[in-house]
Amino acid sequence: MEYAPEDLSQRERYKVLTSFVLPRPIAWVTTVGPTGVVNAAPFSFFNAFCESPPLCMFAANNRPDGRAKDTLVNIRRSGEFVVNIADEPLARAMHESSGDFPPEIGEPSYLGLKLAPSSKVSVPRLADTPWAMECKTWKIIDVNGDRILVMGEGINFYIRDELWDREAMRVHMDRYHPIGRMFADRYCRTDDRVVFPAAQGPK
Ligand SMILES: Cc1cc2nc3c(=O)[nH]c(=O)nc-3n(C[C@H](O)[C@H](O)[C@H](O)COP(=O)(O)O)c2cc1C
């Protein structure tokens, strides 16, 4: 089976991409609205791409009626956001936070999620997240009027203490249980792990 993108509708292209490029990590992005409402929404067109400076990117599309999502509106105004990672205990709330919430109702407050102040941005992180990166907008690229790439520069990292081996600078993998996105409303756990010996290459 092969397709040229121009022979597919936008929706079909989305399905061809997201059915195979998986599992995808999920940025659970917190932002603050103009009246101080804290917003949280998941984005799985997401990854980290660079360490100097630390850069991440997620891609937001518009709502079906053409309005920009609250996350994007808030980032365009304030230039700040926090990427939180959802682990298994938080996964259901992460999913629920993708529902249709008007801007004046904050998902964390509605869903009973605790917030904690960030150190370098005025946007709070989710208190129970295993990991969060405080971001300033690095670049926003409007691809086609409907899909907007938001690149953030990480200016502070938060790690839940018991997950991190400070000496080895390594995560305790047995304690870290991030959730991945398959497609639509399907997710995967990440506990079934495989280790290979270091790759050698031809000698
Ligand atoms: C796991 C998951 C991943 C999602 N990924 C994206 C994404 O990459 N881009 C996007 O525009 N919407 C994505 N969505 C949908 C948004 O989370 C949803 O539109 C949300 O209501 C936006 O909220 P906001 O208006 O508060 O920003 C995703 C939803 C879920 C459940």
200 in a domain, yes or no? no
The 10s digit of each residue's pLDDT in 81-128 is: 999 999 999 999 999 999 999 999 999 999 999 999 999 999 999 999
Asked if residue 105 is part of any domain, the answer here is yes
Find the 43 Cα to ligand 1 centroid distance in Å.
5
Note down the domain range covering 151.
Answer: 25-188
Q: What is the mean pLDDT of the chain?
A: 97
At a CB cut-off of 8 Å and minimum separation 6, what does 164 contact? 170, 171, 172
Write down the pLDDT at residue 105: 97
Q: What is the CATH number of the domain that holds 159?
A: 2.30.110.10
Coarse DSSP helix, strand, coil percentages of the chain, rounded to the nearest 5 percent: 20, 35, 45
Q: How many domains does the chain have?
A: 1
Closest CA to 157 of 190, 115, 121, 181: 121
**Residue 55 located in a structural domain:** yes
Distance, CA of 61 to CA of 179 (rounded, Å): 22
Per the domain annotation, does 3 fall within a domain?
no
pLDDT attached to residue 203: 82
Residue nearest to atom 6 of ligand 1 (CA): 43
Residue 5: inside a domain, yes or no?
A: no
Q: Quick check: is 79 in a domain?
A: yes
Q: Which residues pair with 51 in a beta bridge?
A: 54
Residue 17 lies in a domain: no
Does residue 116 lie within any of the structural domains? yes
Mean pLDDT in runs of 10 for the chain (203 residues)? 97 96 98 98 98 98 96 98 98 98 97 98 98 98 96 98 98 97 96 95 91
Phi, psi of 161 (to 5 degrees): -50, -50
Q: Which atom of ligand 1 is nearest to the CA of 73?
A: 27
Q: How far is CA 164 from CA 133, 167, 168, 193, in A?
A: 15, 9, 9, 18
| 69 Cβ closer than 6 Å to some ligand 1 atom | yes
pTM of the model: 0.97
